[in-house]
Amino acid sequence: MKLQHYLGGLEGLGPVNLEKRVFVAEWEKRIFGIHTVMMAESTHLDKALPKYPIAHVPTTFKETWTWASLRTGAEGMQPFEYFKYRYYEKWLMGISQFFVDRGYVAAEELATLTEHYRANPDAPLPAQPNLALKEQVVRYLNHGDSGLRAPITPVRFAVGDTVYVADPEAADHTRLPGFLRNKKGTVTEVYPGAYEYFVSTGPDGLVGPQHVYCVSFEASDIWGADKSEPHTVIYADLFDVYLKPAH
Amino acid sequence: MAALFGYDDDREAASAAKVRALEALLIKKGVLGSDSIDAVLSHFETVAGPFNGARIVARAWLDSEYKRRLLQDTPKAIAELNFPGMDGAEGEHMKAVANSESVHNLVICTLCSCYPWPVLGLPPYWYKDPVFRARGVREPRAVLREFGVQISADKEVKVWDSSAQIRWFVIPERPAHSEHLTEAQLAALVTPEAMMGVALVPAPTAA
């Protein structure tokens, strides 16, 4: 098991952080912005809904970059490292390493320029606007990247069905919350259409378009009757491959 | 965990310099324009943000028929209000759930930080905090108490773990003594925390 997949239910962590700010340092806005522009110019967007004319957007970025890329990176971190860093610190580490690994940026030039900005925090950025890219960023933010597809397999479960959650191999990335594995739930909604996740998660099972179900779980069925709060129900949206029939 | 957020200036200065260097190199190499990131940030100041969610909630409080439609087909009911970008990034498929006398809803993402961007903007730190994500599904009432919200034992708590396409948000209960308020005044009472279920909407203070 990978700890990042099993955060739900972990005990002994102390009080929650009540910080209401979205960004706790100005620099965090910039890495959030870089990630979001990468998503807006990702090469896969010609197949996404809506079908963006991404090949015509003037950018040297020729990669698929989605939420799955960022999540896979975070889930691939050594778990104790994962907890050492703040949310956007992890983004900065993962995204800068991606650009180095893919050859867009040399590690040395990044280190050298970082030293430069360290010594001169107010030194300007290059002025090189890109109107067509900006328009694509705005289009992406306003129209998104839906995974809705035509279903290719029959619906396996109906509202009211008892289901068990599967226990697939631990892969690099999953959309199955670990605390639900092998637990018993009840289908409360069958979403219309099918959904294709951004990437295949391989042995984890997210391959191609799948039906998605909302499944309810009694807290006592997950944590044990004497270890859970009363009158508590947990709902999760689960891809078809993560569910098994009750018998 | 508070100590984890008490970074020294050096750690912040290092990250600030690194992200600036990365942005500069990506502009130079044609991956970004120098106006790209500001376009993103401006979207979250003007188009996508909790100001939309607050107006949707206020409308639902004033119009029970609208609230019914919102719960039944959330995107369609939101579209009635003609806000731009409402099926945009991280809001392609949204669903609203309503608090009531008998139910309290809490939205969480135990795997990452899925959040309904068009109606709520970007997630606050508490939502991204591993401690909230870990404890929220196991002891939601205890977590809510830390946020200052008491949920009686006989009320049902529903926790919505966002793990596929749906981005959830909560229609909080309308506060007492708010009958005289306009839609805009009601909207002003609604916080992002209330629309994720970690806060209630307090009764308005007398003017």
Residue A58 has pLDDT above 90, yes or no: yes
Confidence check on the interface: ipTM exceeds 0.90, yes or no: yes
Overall CATH class of domain A3-146 = mainly alpha
- Supply B205's token pair: 């203070």
Give the number of A-B residue pairs with CB atoms closer than 8 Å.
Answer: 321
B98 in reach of chain A (CB within 8 A): no
CB A72 within 8 A of CB A172: yes
Task: Give pLDDT, residue A48.
Answer: 86
The amino acid present at B88, given as its one-letter code, is G
Smallest CA-to-CA distance from B4 within A25, A79, A84 is with: A84
Ranges A3-12, A47-56, B147-156: which has the least confidence: A47-56
Statement: A149-245 belongs to CATH 2.30.30.50: yes
- Looking at chain A, which residue has its C-alpha nearest residue B1? A17
Q: Which of A133-142, A148-157, B105-114 has the lowest mean pLDDT?
A: A148-157
What pLDDT, on a 0 to 100 scale, did the predictor assign at position B3?
56
Average pLDDT, integer, range A82-96: 95
Contact A13 B1 (CB under 8 A): yes
Q: Please judge whether B166 and A223 are an interchain contact, meaning their C-beta atoms are less than 8 angstroms apart.
A: no
Which chain B residue shows the shortest CA-CA distance from A146? B92
Helices B36-46 and A131-143, packing angle to 10 deg = 40
Q: For the residues A53-57, what does the mean pLDDT come to?
A: 96
Q: Check if B92 contacts A (Cβ < 8 Å).
A: yes
CA distance B141 to chain A (A): 7
pLDDT at B1: 42
Q: Which domains does chain B have, with CATH numbers?
A: 10-44 (no CATH), 49-187 (3.90.330.10)
Looking at residue A191, its pLDDT comes to 97
Question: Does the distance separating the beta carbons of B111 and A25 come in below 8 Å?
Answer: no
> In this structure, what is the dihedral angle of CA atoms A89, A93, A95, A97, given to the nearest 10 degrees?
170
> Taking the domains of chain A in order of start, what are their residue ranges?
3-146, 149-245
Ranges under pLDDT 70 in chain B: 1-9, 206-207
Contact B24 A99 (CB under 8 A): no
C-beta atoms surrounding B185 within 10 Å: 13
Query: Which tens digit of pLDDT belongs to each residue from A199-242?
Result: 999 999 999 999 999 999 999 999 999 999 999 999 999 999 99
